[in-house]
Structure 1
Amino acid sequence: MDNLRSLLAALLLVCFGFGAGVLGDGDGEQFVYSGFAGANATLALDGTALVQPSGLLELTNGTAQLSSHAVHRTPLRLRRSPGDAVRSFSASFVFGIIPPYSDLSGHGIVFFVGKDNFSAALPSQYLGLLNSANNGNATNQIFGVELDTIQSTEFNDTNDNHVGIDVNSLKSVAAHSAGYYDDETGAFNELLLISGKAMQVWVDYESDSTQISVFLAPLKNGAKPSTPLVSAKSNLSKVLVEPAYAGFSSSTGTVRSRHYLLGWSFAMDGPAPPIDIGSLPKLPFVGAKPRSKVPDIVLPIATAAFVLGVVAVVILLVRRRSRYAEVREEWEVEFGPHRFTYKDLFRATEGFKNKTLLGFGGFGRVYKGALPKSKLEVAVKKVSHESRQGIKEFVAEVVTIGRLRHRNLVQLLGYCRRKGELLLVYDYMSNGSLDKYLYSGSKEKPALDWAQRFRIIKGVASGLLYIHEDFEQVIIHRDIKASNVLLDADMNGRLGDFGLARLYDHGADPQTCSPSAPSSSRWPAAGGPWSRP
């Protein structure tokens, strides 16, 4: 009988070439695939799995987000009789993973024993074995050893290069970084699962002790290490039910790796038969191309540039805001029509550059400008006000004088306030002050004839009559002189500089009444040198 069994085994090996030898008797079962040529009869394949002409079993072909399975068709006889414990078993297989990049792969391979219904299984981190709904359920009735190349935090993975023991769940009961312990020195040697090189795995389950041991080594070592890479105790009698099958599951995610099996052996109640290493097919000579360094270089630069850009924009906005910042208080609402924005005045005077400077006054500088919208030519006087005392009354006076409307008065158009600074806006008088013409006699400013002088005097008198009699309040100028009379483009005289002016109500006696505005000794002139010197 033993000779007959040996003869049958030999015939099967000849028939399948590098393929499978399936041996079995009443005491146990075993099979070995030293390459998979001709194994389609004994393997059930789905998904992207196929046997290449070379005898290489390709589980995934580089397609994204797909899974595949390769299952030995003959069910395992896990128990000798109903109610018995699951028998001991051993498996060995040779695999290779070729990633698209040298340092990045797409998930891995699971060797399993158990139910073979994967219709609801998902690819990516579920490795084509389970799904989000059934992961961890006792009804899965499956045991597996995962070779995982992606770290999935939801499964508490050790890292992205580990071997784990799974029982009904992808949260491994035990896991370890891929590698092996040297038999001579006991040192741990790390292995990279996605190196593109062939490696061999051994899986042993001892029924009496319920001990599960997993070993890993480079194929070139040719021997099983003495010390397991990872081990755990788990009573598979409470997990596995018949019919049960042995096989492999693999999947890809967004990264399109290729997963291969070169050989496989399995046995109940004994060590797995040795795989004929010399007969194994070769892995494809497709080296994993180095991942482009462009993202590694461009991304930090782009990120830094973006951050710098955001910072620059924030700084510019802050500077712009501070450049045009104004002081505004609730009581100024009633003076709204007489209030200019600092932004408009800044643009009108080209940023208060020296080329727009008209002259200096006792309290500040005067600049020529043109308002952005109306293009009206104005003179802008910048004066300081370091004390807040009386500012409300002073602005009220400015606005009051700003309501004066007479052809022989310089029009005070309005004001603007900044921190420590007050800006007064007037009509621009292109011909300057009268005193420059009275004694000049130059070509630029020829002396005035008597007709011009009489017209100017008459105009100033008309302006004085208006502020003394016709305005809503009595305004006493108190500083009539040639330098405070400005000449417009038509050489008409206009009275300006109301800095020493006092305001009274009509009918009041200026000799007995207190003025309604503060003295100019405390505040800058409401008029002033708004023309060219």
Structure 2
Amino acid sequence: MAGVLRSLSFWILIQVVSLVLAQDGTQFVHYNFSKADLHRDGMATIDDGLLHLTNNTNRSTGHAFHKIPMNFTRSSPSSLSFSTEFVFAMFPLQGDGQGLAFVVSPSLDLRYSGAATSYLGIFNRTNDNKTENHILAVELDTNPSSEAIEDSYNHVGIDINSIVSVESSNASYFSDTDKKNISLPLASGKSILVWIDYDDLEKLLNVTLAPAPTKPTSPLLSRSIKPSVPLLSKFINVSEIFSETMFVGFSGSTGTVKSDQYILAWSFKKGGQAESLDLSKVLDAPNPPPPPSGSNDSNMKLILVATIPSIAFLMMLGGIFYLYKRRKYSEVLEQWEQDYIPQRYSFKNLYKATKGFKENQLLGAGGNFKAEEVKMLLKIGMLCSQSNPENRPSMRLIVQYLEGNVIVPDISYDTSGFGMPNISNETVTQQPETSSSANFSFEDVTVLFGGR
């Protein structure tokens, strides 16, 4: 009987000590925030036991702090140490100045930060980077200030009195299986675990992340899946930052685009290791809301309105260019030419070969010619230039002359009918027979006029 009384007394003592510690605010665990004694402002609400920091409001903030202050005076070697872990979920975010943060602040009321110009709902342009802020924050930001970390949209940072992080990194977790860091999208809508531990003896702050596993049906403590290597480690002396009493909690903000940020479970302890969360008790993150009805159709219409005129304009330019090129090289073929197309050069080919019929690019320029061929061409030219059209040869006959199938007739001054002036019948030019040029008599030279 005495043993039973001693056991009962010990159990009652443990419960009393736990109650005192809980009332003192040095440690607590929340799985259902409906039962938590929190100071909330801005957008922060409690929805079905979940702490909902931000909702469908643009450029606004939400705060939720544990109401009981923590005493951070140096009363013992570990009096400034603290540990916390929590599970959060964020729906996809866009725009500037959005995200959530775990905050240690001397004040419960952070509404002075100003919704329109706030950084994570903590700082603004007037109070940023001021030592009198006495604020330590760990931010989980999907689009940080460019001053904090450039070209990063998945950002974890340690902030001291300023939005500009003293230590930061892209969100990831160390895989003990793969022995490497794996990227971790913050705004995926999935549950993510965060551990924040400060050791006052070493003056070291560690921040560790990991994806929360699918909700187990049996107890599963968070410490069993905590990565062995933290994402961020920073030597900090919090005694230079904290006031004697501080409040712990969360801050969230939205920018130009609406977003939802949830805290699903939270454990905290001052002066030691926080109680490990039982992941089987953590409430599920809500499903991301569906996109507004017709938004996809509107986006498609906008894309079509923007692209169709551009495509039509490019097609019109292509058509104009095609017609220009076609007209530039166009030629009219007579019936007789159809039979000799394989043996002829097109105007386009000649145009390209002579580079636009430039004088220095003319075909055969500067070469030697056979006198008989030149003489034949002159005769044909003279035949085609007779004053009487009936005496001129047909195009088919000319082709036969050129192919050598019919001999070009001799031309007589008396019978030619060229209407030439009265000139002598003497030889016009003479060259040695070794030359490639021929001797031309009167019958080979004429003044061409009155032709076609």
Task: Please give the TM-score of this superposition, normalised by the length of structure 2.
Answer: 0.58
Pair 1:265 & 2:260 matched = no
Structure 1 letter corresponding to 2:199: E
Q: How does 1:454-533 map to 2 (within 5 A)?
A: none
Partner of 2:49: 55
Would the aligned equivalents of 1:212 and 1:232 in 2 still touch at CA under 8 Å?
Answer: yes
Which of 247, 250, 268 aligns to 1:248? It is: 250
Task: Give a deviation string over 1:408-442, Cα, whole Å, max 9, x none.
Answer: xxxxxxxxxxxxxxxxxxxxxxxxxxxxxxxxxxx
Measure the CA separation in 1 of the matches of 2:70 and 2:132. Answer: 19
Deviation at 1:288?
A: 5.7
Task: Give a deviation string over 1:152-183, Cα, whole Å, max 9, x none.
Answer: 21333551111111111111111111120111
Task: Give a deviation string over 1:473-522, Cα, whole Å, max 9, x none.
Answer: xxxxxxxxxxxxxxxxxxxxxxxxxxxxxxxxxxxxxxxxxxxxxxxxxx
Task: Give a deviation string over 1:311-334, Cα, whole Å, max 9, x none.
Answer: x99xxxxxxxxxxxxxxxxxxxxx
| Structure with more of its chain in strand, by fraction | 1
Q: Percent identity?
A: 36
Deviation at 1:309?
A: 7.5
Q: How does 1:103-502 map to 2 (within 5 A)?
A: 107-116=98-107, 117-123=109-115, 126-157=119-150, 159-220=152-213, 222=222, 223-287=225-289, 289=291, 292=296, 295=299, 298=302, 302=306
Which secondary structure does the structure 1 equivalent of 2:189 belong to?
A: coil
Which of 92, 101, 110 aligns to 2:85? It is: 92
Measure the CA separation in 1 of the matches of 2:113 and 2:257. Answer: 19
Partner of 1:65: 59
Measure the CA separation in 2 of the matches of 1:216 and 1:133. Answer: 32
Would the aligned equivalents of 2:27 and 2:270 in 1 still touch at CA under 8 Å?
Answer: yes
Measure the CA separation in 1 of the matches of 2:250 and 2:297. Answer: 35
Deviation at 1:65?
A: 1.1
Alpha carbons of 1:292 and 1:235: their partners in 2 closer, same or farther (altered >3 Å)?
farther
Measure the CA separation in 1 of the matches of 2:297 and 2:97. Answer: 19
Alpha carbons of 1:125 and 1:293: their partners in 2 closer, same or farther (altered >3 Å)?
farther
Partner of 1:350: none
Deviation at 1:268?
A: 1.5
Measure the CA separation in 1 of the matches of 2:153 and 2:140. Answer: 10
Measure the CA separation in 2 of the matches of 1:247 and 1:35. Answer: 15
Would the aligned equivalents of 1:95 and 1:261 in 2 still touch at CA under 8 Å?
Answer: yes
Deviation at 1:187?
A: 1.6
Structure 2 letter corresponding to 1:34: Y
Which secondary structure does the structure 2 equivalent of 1:154 belong to?
A: coil
Would the aligned equivalents of 1:137 and 1:169 in 2 still touch at CA under 8 Å?
Answer: yes
Would the aligned equivalents of 2:78 and 2:272 in 1 still touch at CA under 8 Å?
Answer: no
Would the aligned equivalents of 2:189 and 2:287 in 1 still touch at CA under 8 Å?
Answer: no
Would the aligned equivalents of 2:103 and 2:137 in 1 still touch at CA under 8 Å?
Answer: yes
Which of 24, 29, 41 aligns to 1:46? It is: 41
Task: Give a deviation string over 1:110-163, Cα, whole Å, max 9, x none.
Answer: 101122231321346601111111111111100010000114213335511111
Structure 2 letter corresponding to 1:264: W
Alpha carbons of 1:34 and 1:85: their partners in 2 closer, same or farther (altered >3 Å)?
closer
Measure the CA separation in 2 of the matches of 1:248 and 1:166. Answer: 14
Would the aligned equivalents of 2:80 and 2:238 in 1 still touch at CA under 8 Å?
Answer: no
Measure the CA separation in 2 of the matches of 1:56 and 1:276. Answer: 16
RMSD: 3.5
Would the aligned equivalents of 2:53 and 2:64 in 1 still touch at CA under 8 Å?
Answer: yes
Alpha carbons of 1:157 and 1:115: their partners in 2 closer, same or farther (altered >3 Å)?
farther
Would the aligned equivalents of 1:90 and 1:272 in 2 still touch at CA under 8 Å?
Answer: yes
Partner of 1:23: 22
Measure the CA separation in 1 of the matches of 2:192 and 2:312. Answer: 48
Alpha carbons of 1:286 and 1:47: their partners in 2 closer, same or farther (altered >3 Å)?
same
Structure 1 letter corresponding to 2:46: V
Which secondary structure does the structure 1 equivalent of 2:147 belong to?
A: helix
Q: Unpaired segments of 5 or more residues in structure 2?
A: 1-8, 215-221, 318-452
Which secondary structure does the structure 1 equivalent of 2:213 belong to?
A: helix
Alpha carbons of 1:150 and 1:70: their partners in 2 closer, same or farther (altered >3 Å)?
same
Alpha carbons of 1:157 and 1:240: their partners in 2 closer, same or farther (altered >3 Å)?
farther
Alpha carbons of 1:2 and 1:214: their partners in 2 closer, same or farther (altered >3 Å)?
farther
Structure 1 letter corresponding to 2:279: I
Measure the CA separation in 2 of the matches of 1:281 and 1:214. Answer: 23
Partner of 2:408: none
Count of equivalent residues: 296
Alpha carbons of 1:277 and 1:298: their partners in 2 closer, same or farther (altered >3 Å)?
same
Partner of 1:34: 31
Deviation at 1:186?
A: 1.4
Measure the CA separation in 1 of the matches of 2:102 and 2:278. Answer: 20
Partner of 1:320: none
Task: Give a deviation string over 1:257-289, Cα, whole Å, max 9, x none.
Answer: 011111111111211112232222222223564
Pair 1:6 & 2:3 matched = no
Task: Give a deviation string over 1:355-395, Cα, whole Å, max 9, x none.
Answer: xxxxxxxxxxxxxxxxxxxxxxxxxxxxxxxxxxxxxxxxx
Which secondary structure does the structure 2 equivalent of 1:155 belong to?
A: coil
Measure the CA separation in 1 of the matches of 2:284 and 2:229. Answer: 28
Alpha carbons of 1:220 and 1:303: their partners in 2 closer, same or farther (altered >3 Å)?
same
Would the aligned equivalents of 1:115 and 1:243 in 2 still touch at CA under 8 Å?
Answer: yes
Measure the CA separation in 1 of the matches of 2:112 and 2:83. Answer: 28
Partner of 2:370: none
Task: Give a deviation string over 1:26-72, Cα, whole Å, max 9, x none.
Answer: xx921111221222xx21111111112x2111111211111011000
Would the aligned equivalents of 1:125 and 1:150 in 2 still touch at CA under 8 Å?
Answer: no
Measure the CA separation in 2 of the matches of 1:104 and 1:134. Answer: 22
Structure 1 letter corresponding to 2:112: A
Deviation at 1:189?
A: 1.4
Partner of 2:414: none
Alpha carbons of 1:279 and 1:308: their partners in 2 closer, same or farther (altered >3 Å)?
same
Deviation at 1:218?
A: 1.1
Q: Does 1 or 2 have the higher relative contact order (CA < 8 Å, sep 6+)?
A: 2
